[in-house]
Structure 1
Amino acid sequence: MVNGRRWRRTDPSLPAGMVERLKSHLGRGRSGVGTAKRRGDDSAVAASRKRVGLAKHGLGERGPRWWEESEAARLERARQALEELDGLDGAAPEGA
């Protein structure tokens, strides 16, 4: 809670390796937003923001409230986000 407002945090039930991969995508997305803004490349800004949004959904920081979902649903949400994020890179999904 900050000033009476609840702030989202990463879902604590997610495996550490999965969180690490999602946070890597989140960091790359945030970095990409800044780089694309400096270049004035609106399409790259949008693509980078998509990566940020997917990573945050996977981590449980956006979307449905993870504390109201079953652990299986939360894990599936994170897996789907990673699959889509890895697809953005053309990478084969790794086990997590």
Structure 2
Amino acid sequence: MTDRPPAARDHPVTPDGRYFVVRGRLWRMSDPRLPEDRRAHLVTELMRARRAIAAARRSKDTVAEDEAHAAVDRAKRALGERGQVWWDDGAPDLNRHMARTTPYAAWYAARTT
């Protein structure tokens, strides 16, 4: 994958393109079938919601923080990073699992040695 999302540019991506790895943990990639304009819009919404979380925390507004967390979740689900997996081969979702405890263990070990 040459045109990877910003979060994955500096991190290894599994050979199947489903996850990138940060500090040994798998994080689900966005659905590669999303049209670029839709993906860009959703990323903008995600970043807006993350900024809203920070602002709500600074102002100690728990209602606004809860709303912002919900907006983050909606954006991540629409991107395919949460919820129903975007692949259709029946493979389980290993999001947030340690790479060394998954079927990617050998691949990851080869990258880190």
Return the TM-score normalized by structure 1: 0.66
Are 2:74 and 1:51 equivalent residues in the alignment? no
SS in 2 for 1:67: coil
CA RMSD of aligned residues (A): 1.5
Using the alignment, how far apart are the partners of 1:17 and 1:67 within structure 2? Answer: 21
CA apart distance, 1:22: 0.4
Residue in structure 1 matched with residue 108 of structure 2 by the alignment: none
User: How many pairs were matched up?
Assistant: 68
Residue in structure 2 matched with residue 40 of structure 1 by the alignment: 60
Residue in structure 2 matched with residue 88 of structure 1 by the alignment: none
**Would you tell me which structure has more helix in proportion to its own residues?**
1
Return the TM-score normalized by structure 2: 0.56
CA apart distance, 1:41: 0.1
Unaligned regions of 5+ residues in structure 2, if any? Answer: 1-13, 15-20, 90-113
Residue in structure 1 matched with residue 84 of structure 2 by the alignment: 64
Larger Rg: 2
SS in 2 for 1:18: helix
Q: Residue type of the partner of 1:15?
A: P
Can you list the C-alpha shifts for 1:30-70, whole angstroms capped at 9, x where unaligned? 0000000010000000110111000000000000111128x
Unaligned regions of 5+ residues in structure 1, if any? Answer: 70-96
Q: Which runs of 4+ in 1 moved over 3 A?
A: none
SS in 1 for 2:26: coil
Using the alignment, how far apart are the partners of 2:59 and 2:26 within structure 1? Answer: 35
Residue in structure 2 matched with residue 89 of structure 1 by the alignment: none
Using the alignment, how far apart are the partners of 2:58 and 2:81 within structure 1? Answer: 27
